[in-house]
Amino acid sequence: MRQIILSLLCVFCFFSCKNTLLSQSSFGLQVGLATPSEKLNQIYNEDLLKVQNALGVLLREGPNTGYIVNAKLRFELDEKVWFNGGAGIARFPQSVIPIVNQIDNKDTLAIMTSIQNIIPLSAGLHYQFNRGLVSLYFMGDMTYNYMMNSVDVKYNKQTFPLPPKNETISRIGIGFGAGLDFHIPIFTGNLEAKYNIVNFIGRDPIEAEKSYFTLTLGIYFGETQSAIKPKASPSTEQ
């Protein structure tokens, strides 16, 4: 699977360089909010753990809203179809998760804190509906996601072993959304809403679907849709 992904990335880089020289292209940055699903911080794939002679229940709540930063590349494939690709980082706030005794939920065995970071590498298409000062587009992409979990545990009475979860795993995901481009001289402003499924392909049998929603503001430099010139008619060419 890794060899396939690397091969696809090589092909993407080749065509990116080729088309960037031959067609309109632009480079942009996006910054905004990332709202995670309730399962995003379920690092053990379940909320019931066996700790020594007792069963520990993770009183887990969904993580709070974080932020995302993306670097993006666009280039023209057709008058209304554009390639878009890029890389970014989505960072979510620390989650505080008490581990309590299943029999007596007032008996707190430990307090676990976790942080989730996701690095998505994306490649996809977007379809531009119109040209002008403001233009609307729909988009979809596939992502190769590096999911990084950082876990720290503070024990209440005595220590007990927990599965190590300071690790990085990778999953293939998908995303789809819509956006508006505001075509201004010098740069293009951008507003985009997007739903991202992080582990659409490659997740474990008991692993829950993990996703997050992003709302970003962006700025693009270079050629954009509004700069595309209409095809000249035969009379114009003469």
CATH of the domain at 29: 2.40.160.20
pLDDT in tens, 123-174: 999 999 988 889 999 999 999 999 998 887 787 776 666 666 667 889 999 9
Between residues 74 and 2, the one the model is more confident about:
74
Whole-angstrom distance, CA of residue 94 vs CA of residue 150: 9
Between residues 125 and 19, the one the model is more confident about:
125
In the chain, the amino acid numbered 234 is: P
What letters, b where the CB count within 10 A reaches 16 and e where it falls short, cover 28-48? bbbebebbbbebbbbbbeeee
Residue 237 lies in a domain: no
Whole-angstrom distance, CA of residue 42 vs CA of residue 65: 16
> Model-level pTM greater than 0.75?
yes
Closest residue by Cα to residue 133 from 63, 59, 189: 189
Domain that holds residue 151: 2-228
Q: Could you report how far apart the first and last alpha carbons of the chain are, in Å?
A: 54
pLDDT tier for residue 234 given thresholds of 50, 70 and 90: low
Residue 234 lies in a domain: no
Whole-angstrom distance, CA of residue 152 vs CA of residue 46: 18
Between residues 16 and 58, the one the model is more confident about:
58
Residue 238 lies in a domain: no
pLDDT in tens, 173-224: 999 999 999 988 889 999 999 999 999 998 888 888 999 999 999 999 987 6
Residue 40: left if φ>0, alpha if ψ -120 to 50, beta else—which one? alpha
Residue 233 lies in a domain: no
Helices (H) and strands (E) counted in the chain, each on its own, are: 2, 11
Residue 236 lies in a domain: no
In the chain, the amino acid numbered 23 is: S
Residue 208 lies in a domain: yes
Task: Compute the Cα dihedral for 188, 194, 200, 204 and give only its sign.
Answer: positive
When divided into structural domains, the chain yields a total of 1
pLDDT in tens, 27-82: 999 999 999 998 888 777 666 666 666 677 777 777 789 999 999 999 888 888 99
What tokens appear for 64 in the block? 């709070």
pLDDT at 11 over 50: no
